A = this chain, B = another copy of it.
Amino acid sequence: MRDAYHEELDALTDKLVEMTRLVRSGISRATTALLDSDLHLAESVISQDDEVNRLFAEIEASIFDLMARQQPVAVDLRMVITALRMGSDLERMGDLAEHVAKITRLRHPDSAIPAELRSTILEMGQIAERLVTKAGSCIASHDVESAMELEADDDAMDQLHRRLFRVLLAKDSKWAVEQAIDVTLIGRYYERYADHAVRVARDVVYLVTGSRPDMSAL
């Protein structure tokens, strides 16, 4: 049987996994709202971000409390430190989903995404969901090998991001400046979302192995 202290650490893990579920739902609905110009759905993403922030505040509070009372060492210390960092990354992912939803709201009833770019954005949304789902499994299972898989998905996201720019810059297309701005920002939000998911996975690697993959590029 786990003692109260380790039950608290387990509860922390559960809350982080819950955060991954919330920010997955956030980016999933943000992508659908963006592609369907669905104002109601966009609003739901914006209001749900408060829940993500609240959950992160709870995680922070319990970590500070736990550190002060239990003075964790070794792997437990790594657990609470990485939990703090993972929570911060997940909180940011919630913000980024919210940013996508805010552009949808700003352009409603028009669409921020021109027809030529719909399939690219759809794929970016799917990869973002896949990344955060895998990040959630990594947190829950402490599986280092699947944490490594996220790097490949992130490369796919970077390729889609470059494709967005190629389409924007194609010689024969005539974009309005507003469209170029929207697509540039939206592309950046998805790309950053993916980077934060990879950071979470790298923190799982650190937690399990005690050595840190290079984070500087993210």
A4 within 8 A of B: no
Q: Does A47 contact B (CB under 8 A)?
A: no
**Min distance, Cβ A133 to any Cβ of chain B, angstroms:** 24
A-B contacts, 11 listed (Cβ < 8 Å): A60-B212, A64-B81, A67-B81, A71-B71, A84-B85, A95-B216, A165-B181, A168-B177, A173-B177, A177-B177, A180-B180
Q: In whole angstroms, how far apart are the Cα atoms of A71 and B68 in the complex?
A: 9
Dominant SS among interface residues on chain A:
helix
- Contact A68 B77, CB 8 Å, known A168-B181, A181-B165: yes
Residue A74 interfacial (CB < 8 Å)? yes
With a CB–CB cut-off of 8 A, which chain B residues contact A212?
A: 60
Q: Which A residues lie at the B interface, using CB under 8 A?
A: 49-50, 53, 56, 60, 64, 67-68, 71, 73-74, 77-78, 81, 84-85, 88, 91, 95, 165, 168-169, 173, 175, 177-178, 180-181, 184-185, 188, 212, 216
What B residues does A67 contact at CB under 8 A? 77, 81
Q: A95: nearest residue on chain B (CB-CB)? A: B216
Bound complex: CA A169 to CA B178 (Å): 7
Chain B residues with Cβ under 8 A from A81's Cβ?
64, 67, 84
- Return A212 CB to nearest CB of chain B, in Å: 8
For the complex, what is the distance from the CA of A173 to the CA of B60, rounded to whole Å?
A: 48
Q: Which residue of B lies closest to A53 (CB)?
A: B216
Give Cα distance in the complex from A56 to B85, angstroms.
Answer: 15
Cα A216 to Cα B54 with chains together (Å): 9
Asked whether B73 lies within 8 Å of A68 as measured between CB atoms, the reply is yes
Are B64 and A68 interface neighbours, CB within 8 A? Answer: no
User: What B residues does A78 contact at CB under 8 A?
Assistant: 64
A150 smallest CB distance to B (angstroms): 19
Asked whether, in the complex, the Cβ of A177 is within 8 Å of the Cβ of B169, the reply is yes
| Distance from A199 Cβ to chain B, minimum over Cβ atoms (Å) | 10
Roughly how many angstroms separate A64 CA and B148 CA in the complex, as a whole number? Answer: 24
A91 in complex: contacting residue of B50, B68, B84, B216, CB < 8 Å: B216
Say yes or no: A181 contacts B180, CB within 8 Å: yes
Q: Nearest chain B CB to A195's CB is how many angstroms away?
A: 10
